[in-house]
Amino acid sequence: MTDFNRSEEHQMIVKGLRSFIEKDVLPLDEENKKYLEDERARLNEDGSLVPEFKRVIQQVRRSSAKLGYYAMHMPAEIGGGAINRVGIALAYKEVFRYGPGLNVFTLSGAEGPSPMLLQLSQPQQEKFLKPLIRGEISTCFGLTEPEAGSDIKNLKTKAERKGDSYVLNGMKTFISNAADADFAQVFAVTDPKTYKEQGYMGVTAFIVERDRPGFQVGKITRSIIDDGGQAELIFENCRVPAENVIGQEGTGFYTAMGWLGIGRLNIASMSIGLAHYLIERCVEYATQRTAFGKPISKYQHIRGMLAESAAELYAAEQMLLHAAWKMDQGDSIIQESSMVKWYATNMLFRLADRAVQIHGAMGLMKELPIERVFRTARVLRIVEGTDEIQKETIAKSLGL
Ligand SMILES: Cc1cc2nc3c(=O)[nH]c(=O)nc-3n(C[C@H](O)[C@H](O)[C@H](O)COP(=O)(O)OP(=O)(O)OC[C@H]3O[C@@H](n4cnc5c(N)ncnc54)[C@H](O)[C@@H]3O)c2cc1C
C-alpha cells in the first residue's frame, strides 16, 4: 500500500495551509467573533449572510486564491494548482482540522470553480471561470428541484431552443450560495423524449447570470447550520444565449454526475478533518474536567468512546486516501466514492454524538463549537447524495 502522506509536495501544501490559516485566517475569526459565535447575528432577517460577513469570507477566498490554495484542484493552464486527488483530500482534511470557523472558506466548494466549467469556450472561461479561480466572484450548483432530489430523473425545469438562445422555465430548490452567486449553473431538460426514455440523456447544463431577465432568486430556506441559506432559483421565460451551454447539449446529467463524484470525496475529507478536530477537543476536555475527584479521561466509558472514535477515524481516513489514490491512477471509483462518503459522514456523526456526551451540558451550549459540528455532521449525511442513495450505488456495484 502506498504511503500517501510521504509526498514532499503534499507535505508542503499541508504546511503552507497551516501557516496561512494560523497567521491570516484565525485572527480574522477573532476580529469577527460577533458573527461566528452568535449564529443569528451574522444573518439577515431572510437568512442570507450580512454584508460585513460576506466581505470577510471574500477576503479569505481571495487571499487563499492568491496563495494558490483556493483553486488547487483546477489545471495549471487556467491558473489552478493541478494538485492530484490525494493532495486535495489531505488539504480538505487539514483545513477542517481547525474546526468550523472561517478556515472552512479557504478551499472551494459548490460556490467555487469546478472542472465542469472547463468545457466552456475560451471567451466564456475568461468571463466566468477565471474570476472564480481568483476568488473574485462566486457561483452555485442548481440541480435539485421540489420533485427531484435523489430522484434526479424527474427534473421539470425545461429549456427550449429558440434561434441562437434557449428559453428556461422551472425552479430549483435548496441551492447553496444561490442568494450571493454571480451566476448559477443550472440543469434543464432540453430533449424531453430522450430524457423520458433514457433518463440520463436529454439534460443540458447552462450558465445563468444573476441579472439575466426572467431569472430571480426565490425564497431562502434556512437549515440547521444557518450557513447563509439555501435558496430557490426561479426561471420564467428566461432567455439564455447558446454560448452559455456548459459542454454538449443533452449531456448535462453526465457533467453533473462527474462533479458529484468529486464532491463525495471532498465531503468525506471534510468529515475526517472535523473528526480530528473533535477528538482533539475531547481529549483536552476529558483531561481537564474532573468528576468524583478525578479527570473524566480516567473513566473507562469515556476512554472507550475516544478509543472507538480514533479507530473509526483511522478506518475512514485510509478508505478516503485509497479511493483518492485510485482516482489518481485513472481508475473508476463509483463504488468507492459512495462507500467513503457514506462511511466518513456516518463516522463523523457518531463521533459528534460522543463528543457532545463527553462534554456533558457544555457540549450542547453555543459557547463551544461542539454542537455546531454535531449539526454539520447531520447535514453531511444528506448533501451530495443521502446515506440511502450511497448504499443503493454500492448495492448496484455488487450486481444487485
Ligand atoms: C444544506 C443543504 C445544501 C444543499 N445544497 C444544494 C446545492 O447547492 N445544489 C443542489 O442541487 N442541491 C442542494 N441540496 C439538495 C440536496 O442535494 C438534496 O436534499 C438531496 O439530494 C436529497 O434530496 P431530497 O431532499 O429531495 O430528499 P428525497 O430525495 O426526497 O429523499 C427523502 C428520503 O428518501 C430516501 N430515498 C429517496 N430515494 C430513495 C431510493 N431510491 N432508495 C432508498 N431511499 C431513497 C432518501 O435517502 C431520503 O432519506 C442541498 C441540501 C441541503 C440540506
Query: pLDDT tens across 334-358, in order?
Result: 999 999 999 999 999 999 999 999 9
Instruction: Identify the active-site residue in 232, 312, 371, 384.
Output: 384
pLDDT of residue 39: 57
Q: Is the CB of 383 under 6 A from ligand 1?
A: yes
Asked whether the predicted pLDDT for residue 5 surpasses 70, the reply is: no
pLDDT of residue 227: 83
Asked whether the predicted pLDDT for residue 35 surpasses 60, the reply is: no
pLDDT of residue 2: 56
Atom of ligand 1 nearest to the CA of 225: 1
Nearest to 132 by CA among 89, 84, 173, 73: 73
pLDDT of residue 226: 81
pLDDT of residue 3: 63
Q: pLDDT tens digits, residue range 290-327?
A: 999 999 999 999 999 999 999 999 999 999 999 999 99
pLDDT band per the 50, 70, 90 thresholds, residue 367: confident
pLDDT band per the 50, 70, 90 thresholds, residue 212: very high
Give the residue, 32 or 320, on which the prediction is more confident.
320
DSSP string, 257-301: HHHHHHHHHHHHHHHHHHHHHHHHHHHHHHHH-EETTEEGGGSHH
Determine the distance separating the centroid of ligand 1 and the alpha carbon of 383, expressed in angstroms: 6
Residue 39 falls in the annotated catalytic set = no
Strand ranges for the chain from DSSP E: 139-142, 158-162, 165-176, 183-189, 203-209, 215-221, 230-241, 245-246, 290-291, 294-295
Q: What residue's CA is closest to ligand 1, atom 30?
A: 149
Cβ-proximal residues to 173 (8 Å cutoff; 6+ apart), any chain: 144, 145, 146, 221, 230, 232
Rounded-to-integer distance, Cα 293 and Cα 66, Å: 52
Q: pLDDT tens digits, residue range 7-18?
A: 899 999 999 999
Domains of the chain: 4-133 (1.10.540.10), 139-250 (2.40.110.10), 254-397 (1.20.140.10)
Q: Using an 8 Å Cβ cutoff, are 210 and 182 in contact?
A: yes
Asked whether the predicted pLDDT for residue 32 surpasses 80, the reply is: no
pLDDT of residue 46: 84
pLDDT of residue 28: 86
Asked whether the predicted pLDDT for residue 94 surpasses 70, the reply is: yes
Mean pLDDT for the stretch of residues 62-89: 96
pLDDT of residue 320: 97
Q: What residue's CA is closest to ligand 1, atom 47?
A: 388
* Cell numbers standing for residue 285: 476536555
pLDDT of residue 29: 81
Rounded-to-integer distance, Cα 93 and Cα 266, Å: 9
Q: pLDDT tens digits, residue range 227-282?
A: 888 999 999 999 999 999 999 999 998 877 777 778 999 999 999 999 999 999 99
Give the residue, 198 or 259, on which the prediction is more confident.
198
Q: Is the CB of 175 under 6 A from ligand 1?
A: yes
Percent of the chain past pLDDT 70, that is, above it, reads 96
Q: pLDDT tens digits, residue range 104-144?
A: 999 999 999 999 999 999 999 999 999 999 999 999 999 99
Q: Is the CB of 174 under 6 A from ligand 1?
A: yes
- Residues 285-294 as b/e (b if ≥16 CB within 10 A, e otherwise) read bbeeeeeeee
Mean pLDDT for all residues in the chain = 93
pLDDT band per the 50, 70, 90 thresholds, residue 50: confident
pLDDT of residue 36: 56
85-96 and 300-328 helices, crossing angle to 10°: 150
Q: Is the CB of 19 under 6 A from ligand 1?
A: no
